Amino acid sequence: MTVPKEMAEKCLWMLLPWRGSWTLRSKELGQEEERHVKANDRDYNEKFPYADNRIKTSKYNIFTFLPINLFEQFQRVANAYFLFLLILQLIPQISSLSWFTTIVPLVLVLTITAVKDATDDYFRHKSDKQVNNRQSQVLIRGKLQNEKWMNVRVGDIIKLENNQFVAADLLLLSSSEPYGLCYIETAELDGETNLKVRQALPVTSELGMDISKLAEFNGEVVCEPPNNKLDRFIGTLFWKENKYSLDNEKMLLRGCVLRNTEWCFGLVIFAGLQTKLMQNCGKTTFKRTSIDRLMNTLVLWIFGFLTCMGIILAIGNSIWEHKVGSSFRIYLLWNEVLNDAVFSGFLTFWSYIIILNTVVPISLYVSVEVIRLGHSYFINWDRRMYFSKRDTPAEARTTTLNEELGQIEYIFSDKTGTLTQNIMVFNKCSINGKIYGDVYDEFGHKVEITEKTASVDFSFNPLCDSRFRFHDSNLIEAIKLEDPTVHEFFRLLALCHTVMPEEKNEGELVYQAQSPDEGALVTAARNFGFVFRARTPETIVVYEMGKPVTYQLLAILDFNNVRKRMSVIVRNPKGQIKLYSKGADTIVFDRLDSSNEDLMYTTSDHLSEFAGEGLRTLALAYKDLDEDFFEMWLKKLHFASTSLENREDSLAALYEEIEQDMMLLGATAIEDKLQEGVAETIACLSLANIKIWVLTGDKLETAMNIGYSCNMLRDDMNEVFIVSGHSALEVEQQLRKAKEQIVGPSREIGNGHTDPEKKDVFKRGSVFEETITAEYALIINGHSLAYALEADMECMLLDTACLCRTVICCRVTPLQKAQVVELVKKYKRAVTLAIGDGANDVSMIKTAHIGVGISGQEGMQAVLASDYSFAQFRYLQRLLLVHGRWSYFRMCNFLCYFFYKNFAFTLVHFWFGFFCGFSAQTVYDQWFITLFNIVYTSLPVLAMGLFDQDVNEQSSLEHPKLYEPGQFNLLFNKRKFFTCTLQGVYTSFVLFFIPYGAFLDNVRDDGSHITDQQSFTVTIATSLVIVVSVQIGLDTNYWTAVNHFYIWGSVAVYFSILFAMHSDGIFDIFPNHFPFIGTARNSLCQKSVWLVILLTTVVCIVPVVAVRFLRAELFPTMTDKVRYLQQASRRQRPREHNLKRIRRTSSRRSAYAFAHQEGYGELITSGKNMKFSNPFATLPMGKMQGSTSWIDNLLKKRAEPSSSTGADRTPRQMHKE
């Protein structure tokens, strides 16, 4: 007897000693209330059902694959429908067709789909196996042993070494660095490549790397249960009768990478699927396209229609049998006489269900899978989506979602690594009123800088960074001429920062900075001869033009979001005390000496020019300090820093006191490099009515800067709303205020709630964002988003966001990204696409209808979880506007034609039923029924589904508006289905009654009758094949040799098989299967038969041609107009419509990205991060934080910019520095 697992676990929990971490009630609910972890005690920890460290992203295993996959496949109504038909065909009393005609294609479809799903899941298993088999050093029974990640357990102590991935969520115990510090990179968690600092408890950091002490460590951690909050951890360590508070700053999360730390030890708190990374990943779901879902509905409709036809014919059979059927038994003898007319009608109903089932043939689904596979290969083979620098082609990782690429309405994009390269480049600077960085030709005209532009020669500096590029040689000349202001400028950049240098070999410097902006500025100073070489808590060593100079570091005036600047106070070798400061221009300008007024205005103009080019700017200033004044100020600083009350306010006041009357040096301009083509791609997709939302874990300032750089944010926007409330009430008020400002306080909007007069404007329950002519932007941080996503506020958030042209969510967790996507899916019912490149994007990639992974610098997790992948964001434009639009267009045309063709083919049986005594007799012979969809008409419709184009790829990219029909489901919907089925019904009516009427009183040339059933069958079948072949010719927009060969070849194959089946030779071989010798030959040699075929074809086709001609002339669509232009320009040289970047003027300026938290200046000056035994061994420190004034790049869609744009408009100040 087998005991159910749930019952066994329940009984076990009643017997186990209870420590308060679980209750029976919480166990039954599957919830953990509190976690208890004992170090080095697996026996204790295994009492609790904690997850092991094995991860699983796959859907199936060898035992569950068949049942789960079949269950998923039979969710497709058509598969269940065909299974039902197969069961009917196995009943001999009602089956008029052989059972193998259904089972063979059904098994084929199920097998092909299963193989594809198994292949996809195999790669997930392979990825899981690779991760689970990574090696880690685990402390077991007093010894470090190499163990696979999947064998690590909660409570184990593991050792990590530099550049290793963190195997599980760990409590940091000790490290190789002073005071238990260690440095991690969290790119896979929040997308940031900047280093972050973690610090162990002082009591555990004393354990060091003493294995014996670590093995004896028996502390117990009581903490929160597993959750998805990346920025929070609450726990307590109990050890040696003391307790110590634990927070997130003492945790190393799975997915992080240890950097610049030789080794560290950690205690496993959460493992495997319970780690915060995996809690944010979301589940792998079965994705289906909107066309698939519509097909399910249509199949139900068709089955209902089929049932109605069956009932009509069954009633007719009962009436016929009751009134006249008995008279025919003399001619048509029954094996068993059935006197019950009602029961006869009942059997006839099921017989007609079988005969008429070809209105939805299973070959439709085989063809759909083949077409999707072909479209996937077209994406894989597209050389224009191949990134040669990394040898990375585009890859369609699924074959079931291609047509949905042509229906995207919302794109959710990560920022770091997706829109940007995460590379900061020192581009230009303004020193003492002069701009450096521009290049001019011999006529004094500014030259655009490209990769071919000659770079400055830095060979005079042996410590320069060979990767650094600068093109203005005037700055080098000023350096060599020892211009004092230029020297002071770069001296400031070399001193005023919190960067840590690392020099493993002589001259090989590596700078570790938490902000890439800081690294770019220090690297620029390094190349221009001011090389930051080393630091201690009290000194900074700079090599100035090759000579070492040691500065005494007296104070670091740290930065925060209010100050938006940082300063250092140093004493140079001459004994002079200097303050060097850098920060947001408006902040620094307010603290300048009055003698700087002219220089300030000049520099301000330069800053505006830099901002117009999308560069991030900082102002630099210095001040000479009097010795006595500084000594007095230092005493005040010491007193304020040790006070217990109002410490922060006192320090801020002292900083403000000394940072006055400074002298302006100039400004820097850094380019936060976007990926190539990002701005153009976003502009083009916006013209295609696709809304792009940026969801990033990065800081608000950084996200906004990128928004301006790629033209998502602009100065001429009516308003930029920033939602940053710290409570639910504040967030609600800010959202309501934003919405009222856009639509007015009296207007009530919401999902599905509209004014009657506005009803026509609303589509699919959405708000009336189409009526908003002004442009707004919404920016919301993660803390506020957590409140806004609650059930009572999510609709307000969605309404407000949808009224805005641009939406940016910053500081969001991976799970919040998925929740935003789910919110839009739930209420807007729009097709969504999520694109990202890191593990922090996996959750939203899985949640969106389409997930796109960029194979970038943050690993392959996003790619492995995605449906499509490529190397650059710009390829998204081609994926959607070319491949996606074509796939949708082809699939819609294919389905419309397929339904038309099969209704025309099948409904002839319905009309024939009224003339054959409702006997379920087929018009066509069984071979024609079998071969019609498999041989006679399969290849032409496949060719159309694979190769057809309404317009070429160039026109698709030049006219993004062509994408809109897919967003509104205009090419295939219930109305389109009704239209094409109505055409099919009309065609079937003509196909039956014109030959019937013509042959009713017709005779052959020799006077004999032509009205035998087989001749009638041949005439209708031939008319049908010709009509559907002509129709597909009309439906084909783009003719290739393949189309010609398949269409006319299929007609030729039909005639070949027709004459073969009615030949003498095949009768001699199979006399029972092919008894009608010469029927085709005798029928098709009659002129009257060909006249009937011609008349039938004309009557079927001419109305279609007339309607299409009138529609194109009177009501041309965008596609018709573009196709006309395309045809007209074939003999002309094609015009180029490129989205070009032009320089714009703007008052908006951008400082480097300030952190959301305090800096690490205090940590540097305390010396906690220094190894005093080796003063040149360096570690990365604080994150540089500064003010942001805004930038933007105005993109123009065409080569000729409008001269009036923004000419008479004053940019609005949207956010005060």
Q: What residues act catalytically?
A: 414
Taking alpha carbons only, the member of 732, 1207, 691 closest to residue 964 is: 691
Cβ neighbours of residue 330 under 8 Å, at least 6 residues apart? Answer: none
φ and ψ at 923, to 5 degrees? -70, -50
How much is the CA Rg of the chain, to the nearest whole Å? 38
Tokens of 886: 């074509």
Q: Which H/E stretch holds residue 682? A: helix 678-687
Q: Is the dihedral of CA 108, 109, 110, 114 positive or negative?
A: positive
Site of tokens 């089929």: 306
Q: Would you give the end-to-end CA distance of the chain in angstroms?
A: 74
User: Distance (Å, rounded) from C-alpha 316 to C-alpha 713?
Assistant: 69
Backbone CA torsion sign across 681, 687, 693, 699: positive
d(CA 1037, CA 943): 12
Place of tokens 């950084």: 702
Dihedral sign for Cα 1177, 1183, 1187, 1189, please: positive
DSSP single-letter state for residue 1198: S
Element (H, E) at 1078: none
What gap in Å lies between CA 928 and CA 934, rounded to an integer? 10
Residue 631 near residue 638 (C-beta atoms within 8 A): no
Q: What three-state secondary structure class fits 549?
A: strand
Q: E-assigned strands of 323-419?
A: 395-396, 408-413
Query: How do beta strands 868-870 and 395-396 pair?
Result: antiparallel
Q: Would strands 242-246 and 251-252 be described as parallel, antiparallel, or unpaired?
A: unpaired
The answer to whether the beta carbons of residues 359 and 94 sit under 8 Å apart is no
| Residues 37 and 267: beta-carbon distance below 8 Å | yes
* Token digits of residue 558: 């740290």
Answer for the pair 1119, 962: CB distance below 8 angstroms, yes or no. yes
Beta bridge partners of 856: none
Residue 1123, number of CB atoms within 10 A of its CB? 19
CA atoms within 13 A on the CB side of 954: 11
Amino acid at 1154: F
Enumerate residues 6+ apart whose C-beta is below 8 A from 857.
Answer: 187, 193, 417, 422, 837
- Which residues share a beta bridge with 668? 429, 618
H-run or E-run covering 836? strand 831-836
Q: Are strands 663-674 and 257-259 parallel, antiparallel or unpaired?
A: unpaired
In this structure, what is the dihedral angle of CA atoms 801, 802, 808, 812, given to the nearest 10 degrees? 60
CA neighbours closer than 13 Å in the CB half-sphere of residue 839: 21
